[in-house]
Amino acid sequence: MLFLRTVYQPSLNINLPATHPADAFETIAAMRIASNSLALVIDADGVVWHMATDGDDDWREQTAPQADAVWHPSWVSFLLDEDGVLLSSGGTLGDPCGVDTGSEQTGYVHDWTPVLENVVALDSISSTTAALQADGTLWAWGQLYGAMSYTPVRVTDDVRSFSYAGYAVKTDNTLYAWSGRLDGDEILCSLEPVMQNVYTVERDAAIGLDGTLWKLNETQPPQKVMDNVISVMADFHSSDIYAIDRSGGLWWYHPSSDESQLHKIADNCAYIAQREYWADAQALLFIDTSNTLNAVYYDGERTGEVIPLEPDVLYAETAYDRTALYVKPDGSLWLIDFAIFEYGDNGSVIIFPTKNISPDAPRTKLLDKVKMP
């Protein structure tokens, strides 16, 4: 079943290399909430655990008896059960759970509560969530770029790829921008065509059927970034884009007033193992074609410097300002901590914002085995 950061893609007559196994991992979702770093993890028995991932705390608790996939964008969490039902827990007035809670604690539910059935994919930034059903119907709730809804609003149908940022690719390969508007007491979604011959969309970046990468903008026509792209990750804290080309080149696109906005920062990249808020380290985590987890600096004097961290990694993602999670071939889940510690005069611990990205960074085993794809 396709879920979360993957997209629903029927067979297309385009020549793309096989995806990396990490693309199929839907059982780990990390997120920082205020000063806390937490993750939802499904173990080998399908049990969902809530656990700390900041490197200093071994707290964990069972939060659900069974799930196929999890997503933890921020104040609200989602899971997909074995029957394809999307459930939510948590939420706030500005980061709604998608459930009609009446007049009490609008946008928040304490226990896992059903939101939608027959869900195959989800994309969320917490304040806006979009979910795709198996029949291609797209729904969204939260901030709908013109209206606010605390329950799912039908956006459109015949969708095969979409983004919480207000974009959807239909089965005819046309990319549309979607937004909500009030019509009396009802919220309706309208569509505006953006471009044709689109393969997929990720946040505000689109890949064409011919492998061209495009930067999307609400007020301007799409801007072509580069050719021969097979995968992309867009940073929701900035306008940056990270892309993998057909030869395994890893590229960083940074829109600016400078002429050189596109930089190649590494070779032999197979998977970008990055959660967006970790990017302030000026380094990116990626898994290479030999399945080694690496960090590469993408800005500053050390741009292009690659640091091998761990061999034989199936999946990885950044977890906290200074930590990352990775899965080994035996299914074991590990945490690597890049913090630089220094003790102050009064004995307090100072954690520097610049990370000690080193192969010698300490590791902690969190689980013997996660649920594998």
Q: Per-residue pLDDT tens for 217-245?
A: 888 899 999 999 999 988 766 788 999 99
Give the mean pLDDT of 334-359: 63
* pLDDT for res 2: 44
Per-residue pLDDT band for 184 (boundaries 50, 70, 90) equals: confident
* pLDDT for res 244: 95
What value does the mean pLDDT of the chain take? Answer: 86
Per-residue pLDDT band for 294 (boundaries 50, 70, 90) equals: very high
Give the mean pLDDT of 288-305: 86
Q: Between 260 and 317, whose confidence is greater? A: 317
Task: Please give the single-letter amino acid code of residue 138.
Answer: L
Q: Per-residue pLDDT tens for 25-67?
A: 888 888 766 667 888 999 999 999 999 887 667 888 999 999 9
Per-residue pLDDT band for 70 (boundaries 50, 70, 90) equals: very high
Whether the per-residue pLDDT at 69 is higher than 80: the answer is: yes
DSSP designation for 43: B
Ramachandran region, residue 247 (left: φ > 0; alpha: ψ -120 to 50; beta: rest)? alpha
Which tokens is 150 given? 């605390």
Ramachandran region, residue 248 (left: φ > 0; alpha: ψ -120 to 50; beta: rest)? left
* pLDDT for res 238: 73
Q: How far is residue 155's CA from residue 190's CA, in Å, rounded to a whole number? A: 7
Q: Percent of the chain beyond pLDDT 90?
A: 59
Which tokens is 14 given? 């385009």
Task: Please give the single-letter amino acid code of residue 258.
Answer: D
* pLDDT for res 278: 55
Q: How far is residue 25's CA from residue 6's CA, in Å, rounded to a whole number? A: 9
Which tokens is 58 given? 């071994």
Q: How far is residue 107's CA from residue 365's CA, in Å, rounded to a whole number? A: 35
Which tokens is 328 given? 């080994």
Q: How far is residue 161's CA from residue 8's CA, in Å, rounded to a whole number? A: 6
Whether the per-residue pLDDT at 150 is higher than 80: the answer is: yes
* pLDDT for res 16: 63
**CA-closest candidate to residue 135, choices 118, 121, 152:** 118
Instruction: Give the number of other CB atoms < 10 A from CB of residue 262.
Output: 15
* pLDDT for res 355: 59
Q: DSSP string of 109-142?
A: EEEEEEEESSEEEEEE-SSEEEEEETTS-EEEEE
Per-residue pLDDT band for 24 (boundaries 50, 70, 90) equals: confident
Instruction: Give the number of other CB atoms < 10 A from CB of residue 158.
Output: 14
Per-residue pLDDT band for 15 (boundaries 50, 70, 90) equals: low
Q: Per-residue pLDDT tens for 74-109?
A: 889 999 998 999 999 999 989 999 998 876 788 999
User: What are the boundaries of each domain within the chain?
Assistant: 243-373
**CA-closest candidate to residue 310, choices 223, 27, 329:** 329
* pLDDT for res 350: 44
Q: DSSP string of 142-198?
A: EE-SS-EEEEEEEEESSEEEEETTTEEEETTS-EEEEEEEEETTEEEEEEEEEESSE
Q: DSSP string of 71-96?
A: E--SSEEEEE-TTS-EEEEE--SSS-
* pLDDT for res 6: 46
**CA-closest candidate to residue 42, choices 69, 80, 21:** 69
Q: Tokens 């794809």 label which residue? A: 373
Q: Per-residue pLDDT tens for 174-183?
A: 999 999 999 8
* pLDDT for res 134: 92
Q: Lowest-pLDDT range, 34-38, 136-140, 321-325?
A: 34-38
Q: Per-residue pLDDT tens for 248-288?
A: 999 999 887 565 689 899 999 999 987 655 545 578 899 99
CA 78 → CA 117, 121, 126, 284, distances in Å?
13, 11, 10, 26
Which tokens is 177 given? 């921008």
Give the mean pLDDT of 354-365: 81
